[in-house]
Each structure stands twice: as structure tokens, then as C-alpha cells.
Structure 1
Amino acid sequence: MTSSGLRRDELAAFLRTRRARLRPAEVGLPEGERRRTPGLRRQEVAQLAGMSIDYYIRLEQGRGPHPSRQVLAAMARALLLSRDEREYLFRIAGENPLPAVGPSREVTPGLRHLIDAMIETPAYLVDAAYQVLAWNRLATYFMGDLSAVPDAERNMIRWTFRQSVTEGHWTDADARRFVHSTVADLRAAYGRYPGDPAIRDLVTELLGTSPSFARLWAEHEVEERRPVIKRVPHPHLGSLEFECRVLLVPETEQRLIVYVPEPGSPTQAVFRRLAERVGS
């Protein structure tokens, strides 16, 4: 260890192993010709991180200068490091990890591919404030085509509390539980990211415009998400029933929301017909 706290050998080994585990497709690069070694090439990591190849090679060889916090953050993004890995990278480089000032809104290539691969399952990705970041074709049958909607308006919680109190999510017991747990989850994010303006502005807006939100917010509930059964009287697809699963993505604290029908059910048959229509 140097006097600055930089552990060059450990940093070099860590960068090599993180680079070796990634496939080009995971970071949006073409596979290209056959590779002699697994993982990304050094020049590819340097390109993704916006640094010179010579500088990155010296870091991997344990003879580079003390990397700045900006360089460390860029390498963490390029190597798709988890939150724990990112913290470890900063510490072995002799730096305190950067604080989490807001929820991650970056969609990794791996998650994008996963969502697209769910051809028979409506799926979409939201951040900790329930801002919709990505979705697949089947999800548009429930949310509409969000590509035509401004980014600021792609928020599940805002949609929910703009609806009339006579609509389905307020009259169905399972749907009400889903709404309650969503608000409780938003409160957890509000406490975790006190400096995030998007979360703060959303809460302030809804407190002023929605008595239902204000009532739930005043309960100060914080809870983990659990699956719920949703029954949807769809205007074009008929009556649908499926399990709404909210899956946490630990490294970004995003949520992958999927609509899972019971195998062999009429809803599964509807989803399959939709998938065939989308793929034709």
C-alpha cells in the first residue's frame, strides 16, 4: 500500500477480473471476430470509460498513477460494477466512495436484452421513484406507447394518483395493497436519496394534488415489495388475471416489473397471441 492508500496490485487484479467477466454484448459492443481471451479487450474498456488506452493498460499492470475519483467512476460504469464492487474499487484506490445522490436511471445493456427477450411477458423497468426507464412490446398494451410520452410524464405513481377514486386500483383489494406498498417503497427511496430533486418534487406535487396520496404518505409506512394478484378488465383483451412481480435489481436499486400469468390460464393464452401478433 502506498502512502496515499492506493493498492496498485489489488487494483490491477480487480480491473483484470472485472474486464474478463464481461461480454461485448453486455456493454453494447458487437461480438466481432473470435476472441483469444474471454471478456472485453483493454481498448474497449478504455473507450467505454473515455480514457486513453495507455493510461488504462498502466492501471491494469499496477504501474499507473493515482486515479482520480472521476476516472474511478468512469471505470465503474464501463465495467458495469455493482454498488458493492464500486465501493470496493474506490477503497482500494485510496478514495472514499462517492455518495449515492440519487437513484440510478441508467439502463444496462444486459437488462435491456432481458426485457426484450421476455416475448410472452409484459415487462418494464422503473427506478426507485417509479419512473419508467424501459419496457417491452407487450407492456405497451397496458401502458401505451411511452416513446411518445415526455420523460417527466413516465411515472407510475403520478399515473396512479391522477386516476379517479372510482377506478379499479382503488376498488380492488389486491390493487389497493399494490398502491399502498408502492407508496411505502417510495418513502424508503425518499429517505435513501434525500438530495434527489426528482423524488422530492414528485412527493411535493402529489401532496398538493392528491388527498389519497397525502393520506398514505402520512402513515409513514416503509416496506418491501411483495407480489400481488392483479385482475384487469382490459378494454380490448377482456378480463385478465396475473401475478404482478416486482423484482429488485440490487446494483442499481431499480425494479423490474413483470406480469406473470398462471400456466395454462386464459391470460397466458392472450399473452401468447399478443406475442405472435407483435412478432408477425
Structure 2
Amino acid sequence: MSSDADEIGAAVVSDLRRATGRFPDDRHLAALVRDLRTTSARFDELWGSGAVGAHREAHKTIHHPAVGPVTVDCDVLSDGDAELKIVVLTTVPGSEDDSKFRLALLAGVHDTREHARG
């Protein structure tokens, strides 16, 4: 697993641990954690670290079938109390990744139009 994936995984698990502290009586959340700990050794290891936090930002490489790998900044916006999150993916303006990201958006629009006509 890459260090980016390790960092993102650790951040997501610590965010989930934070949610279980905020909602200790949520049976669905408890079941999710129990299932993940049973089926994923990596999750169990991260959960066992005891880290608590909020997943806010990271860099991620997305592999798009039409344009290849695109590195994006991934920011997580949260409203706080309701635990609702919005994930925003951006690229550096004018960069190669920005061009690929825009091409990926156009490829998606093109595919949608083709399916609509078919």
C-alpha cells in the first residue's frame, strides 16, 4: 500500500473513531466497525492505534480509464454537528493534472450523451 493510501486510511479510521465517540449508541456504526475489524487486518491495526481525529485533506491519485492517472487535492468539508461531509477534488490550475481532470470531465459528458442516444 502506498504512503498516500496509508495516510488516507489512517485519517478515515481516526475520523470513524471520532464518530463512534460522538454517537456511542449507534448500533449501525458499531456493527460497521465490528465487521471491518473482523474482515480487514489493516483496519483492525489502524483501529487498535486509538487515533482520534477528523479527515480534512489529502492528495490522491485517481486512475481514470480515458486519461490515466490524475493527482488531485482532496479536501473534506464538514458541518460539524451533523457529521455531514462534502469531498472536494481539485487540481493545480494550469497543470498537466488540471488538463487531464478537465478531459476526464468531458469524457464523462461524452459517454453520457452517447448512452442517451443509444
**How high is the TM-score relative to the length of structure 2?**
0.81
SS at match of 2:71: strand
Cα deviation, 1:224-250, whole Å, max 9, x if unaligned, reads 223111123444421211101111123
Which letter maps to 2:25?
G
Give 1 or 2: higher helix fraction: 2
Which letter maps to 2:67?
L
Confirm whether residue 177 of structure 1 aligns to residue 29 of structure 2: no
Confirm whether residue 196 of structure 1 aligns to residue 26 of structure 2: yes
Q: Distance in 1 between matches of 2:65 and 2:104?
A: 15
Gaps of 5+ in 2: 114-118
Which letter maps to 1:188?
R
Which letter maps to 1:200?
A
SS at match of 1:245: strand
* Shift in CA distance, 218/251, structure 1 to aligned 2, threshold 3 Å: closer
Q: Distance in 2 between matches of 1:227 and 1:260?
A: 11
SS at match of 2:37: helix
CA-based RMSD? 1.9
Gaps of 5+ in 1: 1-169
CA contact (8 A) 2:67 2:104 kept: no
Which letter maps to 1:250?
G
Q: Distance in 2 between matches of 1:266 and 1:194?
A: 45
Aligned residue number for residue 116 of structure 2 = none
1:210 corresponds to which of 33, 40, 48: 40
Give 1 or 2: higher strand fraction: 2
1:9-88 residue pairs with structure 2 within 5 A?
A: none
* Number of residue pairs matched by the alignment: 110
Following TM superposition, the consecutive aligned residue runs of length 4 or more in structure 1 with deviations greater than 6 angstroms are: none
Confirm whether residue 245 of structure 1 aligns to residue 75 of structure 2: yes
Instruction: Give 1 or 2 for the bigger CA radius of gyration.
Output: 1
Q: Distance in 2 between matches of 1:224 and 1:183?
A: 9
CA contact (8 A) 2:56 2:77 kept: no
Cα deviation, 1:182-227, whole Å, max 9, x if unaligned, reads 0000000011111112211100101111111111111110012231
Q: Distance in 2 between matches of 1:203 and 1:187?
A: 9
SS at match of 2:49: coil
Q: Distance in 1 between matches of 2:54 and 2:36?
A: 22
Aligned residue number for residue 254 of structure 1 = 84
